[in-house]
Structure 1
Amino acid sequence: MKALIAKTYLLADKIFDFLAPIFILLTRLYLAQVFFLSGLTKISNWQATLSLFQNEYMVPVMSPTFAAYLGTACELGFPVLITLGLGSRLVLFGLFLFNLFAVFSYKFLWTPDGAVGLTDHMQWGIMILMLLCTGPGKLSIDYLIRRFYLKLDN
């Protein structure tokens, strides 16, 4: 019985070791899609984007115009790097801060009507933190750099 439990455990372990990089990649792709599509929405109607940053998003420290350019650049640039798995942890940290900034600067999310949006941002934040902790996985350029240039296998 003990041997059967051990074999079952090892088999399940191998299956999940095989599946983990695929699900990590799918998580990266999902996050990339969410933020990239948001960036595309911003550039599709730039005047509306500027209006949102001037009237809705209460971004401290920087001008609304600069915040609009920076936010749009982050939403279009970070997803490309996340998809490739290049500079992943640094980019994910930036994306986490960006997401956090969005939650606190867009007061609508804190109203009953904005609760769904707040939940979305919280879920994205959890996914980003998960990827920050695990890394981008074996299906990433970061993994290739780590393996071939740094001679590290994990």
Structure 2
Amino acid sequence: MATIKTIKTIAKPAIKLLETLRPLLDLGIRLYIANVFFFSGLLKTDSWWKTVSQFERDFQVPLLSPEVAAYLGTGAELILPIFLVIGLGGRAAAAGLFVFNAVAVISFPELAGTGLALHQLWGLLLLVTLIHGPGKLSIDHFIRRKNMGAA
């Protein structure tokens, strides 16, 4: 019985500390993912003809012409990360980037090894935000608290 009491005495403050760190983890995930996709989008704007050429040559995006796919993909990579960082429509931004990431994997069949593993990691982290929400350090959280009370 004393052992259980000792475990509870140690575990309770440790769990409380970990729970106070949760918003920082949520924000860290959002910042990491946003950085990956935003800078990929910026890179595409450096040389637009190379970007369109890459979509013509390397990426087989289903149902879209290479030019349309290049515009939509670059736009998604530049806009959605901003919403993800500030946590406005965080779940929608995470869903959009998740779909974008999945399309990237599907449309580039040569992706393997480390590249595939990174896309899997990004997909998993996007699912965390999609399912869990952007967390307390987000505009979504403040809107929800204002409109729905403390949550």
Q: Same fold (TM over 0.5)?
A: yes
Aligned residue for 1:140?
138
Paired amino acid for 2:22: A
Runs of 4+ in 1 over 4 A off after TM superposition: none
CA deviation vs aligned residue, 1:108-138 (integer Å, no higher than 9, x gap): 20xxxx4211111001001111111211110
Aligned residue for 1:30?
32
What SS does structure 2 have at the residue aligned with 1:57? coil
TM-score by length of 1: 0.93
Paired amino acid for 1:85: G
Structure 1's unaligned 5+ residue stretches are none
Alignment of 1:9-24 (within 5 A): 9-24=11-26
Structure 2's unaligned 5+ residue stretches are none
Q: For 1:4 and 1:138, how far apart are their aligned partners in 2?
A: 32
What SS does structure 1 have at the residue aligned with 2:110? helix
Q: For 1:108 and 1:41, how far apart are their aligned partners in 2?
A: 21
Aligned residue for 2:84?
82
Aligned residue for 2:101?
99
Report deviation, 1:3.
2.4
Aligned residue for 1:4?
6
The answer as to 2:119 corresponding to 1:117 is no
Q: For 1:102 and 1:138, how far apart are their aligned partners in 2?
A: 30
RMSD: 0.9
Q: Tell me the matched-pair count.
A: 149
What SS does structure 2 have at the residue aligned with 1:108? coil
Q: For 1:141 and 1:90, how far apart are their aligned partners in 2?
A: 13
CA deviation vs aligned residue, 1:54-91 (integer Å, no higher than 9, x gap): 11000110111000000000000010000000101111
Q: For 2:135 and 2:62, how far apart are their aligned partners in 1?
A: 35
Paired amino acid for 1:139: L
Paired amino acid for 1:130: V
Instruction: Tell me whether 48-57 or 4-13 shows the greater mean CA deviation.
Output: 4-13
Q: For 2:103 and 2:93, how far apart are their aligned partners in 1?
A: 15
CA deviation vs aligned residue, 1:2-22 (integer Å, no higher than 9, x gap): 322212221111101111110
Aligned residue for 1:127?
125
